[in-house]
């Protein structure tokens, strides 16, 4: 029970930090925010790694392997596409010269 309480504490405080931070993200960056969120929610890969390793190749760890693959799609895909997008945001001066 104690660990559940700690988890609820951590979760609640993190939600509040999230609210504080995200309200300051300008609409300009909302799409990168969402794809970046995809990447960050890929943190499930940590749980997947633990699950995959837990027994001697029964169904349980096979499910873990699939979880690893799905979570890694989010991690790599999410971060790469976010970086690709953010690299396109340029300030005025440079863009003028390029045109």
Partner 1 sequence: MIYLEQFSYLLASVLFIIALKMLGSAKTARKGMQYAMFAMALAIVITLIISGIVGPIQIIIGMVVGGLIGGVVAKRIEMTSMPQMVALFNGFGGIASTLVAYSEYLRYSGAETMDVRVTVILSLFIGTVTLTGSLIAYAKLQGVMPGRPIVLPLHQLLNLLLVVGVVIFGIMNVMEPSVQMWAILIIATAAIFGITFVIPIGGADMPVVIALLNSYSGLAASATGFVLSNNVLIIAGALVGASGLILTQLMCDAMNRSLFNVLFGAVGTDDSTGDAGTGGGEQKTVTRYTAEDVAMIMDTVQSVIIVPGYGLAVAQAQHVLHEMGELLTAKGIDVKYAIHPVAGRMPGHMNVLLAEANVPYDVLYEMDDINDDFQNTDVALIIGANDVVNPSARTKKDSPLYGMPILNVDYARTVMFVKRSMGAGFAGEANPLFFDDKTMMVFGDAKAVITGLVKALKEE
Q: Does 87 bind partner 1 (CB under 8 A)?
A: yes
Q: Does 97 bind partner 1 (CB under 8 A)?
A: no
Q: Does 40 bind partner 1 (CB under 8 A)?
A: yes
Buried b (16+ CB within 10 A) or exposed e, 66-85: ebbeebeebbeebbebbeee
Q: To the nearest whole angstrom, how small is the minimum distance from the Cβ of residue 27 to partner 1? A: 5
Site string for partner 1, 44-83 (x = CB under 8 A): xxxxxxxxxxxx-xxxxx-xxxxxxxxxxxxxxxxxxxxx
């Amino acid at each position: 029970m104690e660990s559940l309480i700690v988890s609820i504490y951590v979760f609640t405080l993190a939600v509040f930090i999230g609210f504080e931070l995200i309200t300051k993200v300008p609409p300009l960056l909302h799409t990168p925010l969402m794809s970046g969120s995809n990447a960050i929610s890929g943190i499930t890969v940590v749980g997947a790694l633990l699950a995959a390793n837990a027994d001697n190749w029964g169904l349980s760890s096979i499910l873990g392997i699939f979880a690893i693959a799905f979570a890694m799609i989010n991690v790599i895909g999410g971060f790469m596409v976010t970086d690709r997008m953010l690299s396109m945001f340029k300030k005025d001066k440079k863009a003028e010269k390029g045109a």
